[in-house]
């Protein structure tokens, strides 16, 4: 599950931080501190969003269509 969390976090972080940086620039704040602050806020806000996405995923038994095919020479 942790590898899914890293993948989802990277997507959510880049999207959310980019949106916040654009919002800060549109608001008229062109300093580096305001942009870095908005990126840090995006990094912190991405954690609960990633957790919410992971909670929505189905972690029950895998689908039979995506399972590995059993070897034909398997000894029973």
3 within 8 A of 50, measured Cβ to Cβ: no
Separation in Å, CA 22 to CA 7, 27, 34, 39: 23, 8, 11, 10
Nearest C-alpha neighbor of 9 from the set 46, 40, 41? 46
pTM of model > 0.75: no
Put residue 69 in one of left, alpha, beta given phi > 0 → left and psi -120 to 50 → alpha.
Answer: beta
17-43, pLDDT tens digit by residue?
A: 999 999 999 999 989 999 999 999 999
């Amino acid at each position: 599950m942790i590898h899914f969390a890293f993948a989802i976090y990277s997507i959510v972080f880049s999207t959310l931080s980019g949106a916040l940086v654009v919002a800060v620039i549109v608001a008229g704040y062109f300093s580096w501190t305001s942009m870095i602050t908005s990126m840090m806020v995006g990094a912190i806000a991405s954690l609960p969003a990633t957790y919410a996405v992971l909670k929505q995923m189905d972690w029950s038994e895998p689908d039979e269509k995506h399972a590995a095919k059993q070897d034909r020479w398997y000894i029973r």
